[in-house]
């Protein structure tokens, strides 16, 4: 999955990985990293899966300034580089990781705040999908960020009915 207009973004990301590989002394590193986009991130901008060698980035970064996107990519790729160079003994944000991020030209920080993204990305994140809980009897509706199976319709329960709510999942953006 790539965001709209992803050609230049993809080229910038590959260029960053090539540059980092050279600075980190890890030949071919960029070819061993897979980048994926996800619409599911709500609290973070990126995540790395070390064993699968996958860097997963929030789709919100597609509309963020390119510098933020590249910083998040570098942050996650540095985790892979630290694992490649030092094995499992290095800490996730330990001195080895810090050295890799600095060598790539970024300031090492554990979290990159959502405020660093564009206003459009922040608006999109604020409108994240919700789960709709609906009573099939009286059509009462309640929204939540996650499915809550314990909820019941209070009016139907008071009337002696089970009050079981039907939960509809949010549509996944970017999929046809």
pLDDT tens-digit readout, 124-170:
555 555 788 889 998 888 888 788 999 999 999 999 999 999 998 76
User: Of 33, 46, 37, 44, whose CA–CA distance to 2 is shortest?
Assistant: 37
Query: Do the Cβ atoms of 37 and 1 come closer than 8 Å?
Result: yes
Helices (H), the chain: 6-24, 66-86, 95-103, 119-126, 154-158
Q: What's this model's pTM, rounded to 2 decimal places?
A: 0.64
pLDDT tens-digit readout, 37-69:
888 887 789 999 999 999 999 888 877 888 888
Q: How many CA atoms lie within 13 A of 155 on its CB side?
A: 8
pLDDT beyond 50 at 176: no
- The predicted structure's pLDDT at residue 175: 44
Q: What's the CA gap between 24 and 66, in Å, rounded?
A: 22
Instruction: Please indicate, yes or no, whether residues 80 and 44 belong to a single structural domain of this protein.
Output: yes
Instruction: Please indicate, yes or no, whether residues 42 and 103 belong to a single structural domain of this protein.
Output: yes
Query: Do the Cβ atoms of 64 and 41 come closer than 8 Å?
Result: no
- What CATH number is given to the structural domain containing 103? 3.30.2010.10
Decide if 1 is inside a domain: no
Confidence of residue 93 (pLDDT cuts 50, 70, 90): very high
Instruction: Please indicate, yes or no, whether residues 105 and 155 belong to a single structural domain of this protein.
Output: no
Q: What's the CA gap between 129 and 54, in Å, rounded?
A: 25
Domain hosting 116: range is 6-121
Q: Is 51 helix (H, G, I), strand (E, B) or coil?
A: coil
Instruction: Please indicate, yes or no, whether residues 115 and 143 belong to a single structural domain of this protein.
Output: no
Rg (CA), the chain: 21
Decide if 26 is inside a domain: yes
Mean pLDDT for 97-126 is 77
pLDDT tens-digit readout, 6-27:
457 788 889 999 999 999 999 9
Confidence of residue 76 (pLDDT cuts 50, 70, 90): very high
Decide if 175 is inside a domain: no
Q: How many CB atoms lie under 10 A from the CB of residue 72?
A: 23
């Amino acid at each position: 999955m790539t965001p709209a207009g992803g050609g230049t973004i993809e080229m910038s990301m590959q260029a960053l990985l090539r540059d980092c590989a050279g600075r980190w002394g890890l030949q071919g590193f960029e070819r061993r990293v897979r980048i994926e986009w996800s619409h599911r991130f709500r609290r973070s901008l990126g995540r790395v899966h070390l064993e699968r060698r996958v860097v997963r980035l929030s789709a919100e970064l597609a509309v963020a300034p390119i510098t933020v996107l590249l910083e998040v990519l570098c942050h996650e790729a540095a985790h892979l580089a630290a694992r490649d160079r030092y094995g499992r003994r290095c800490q996730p944000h330990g001195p080895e990781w810090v050295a890799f991020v600095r060598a790539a030209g970024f300031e090492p920080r554990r979290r990159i705040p959502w405020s660093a993204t564009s206003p459009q990305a922040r608006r999109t994140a604020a409108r994240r999908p919700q789960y709709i809980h609906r009573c099939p009897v009286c059509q009462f509706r309640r929204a939540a960020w996650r499915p809550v199976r314990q909820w019941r319709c209070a009016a139907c329960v008071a009337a002696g009915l089970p009050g079981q709510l039907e939960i509809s999942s949010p549509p996944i953006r970017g999929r046809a």
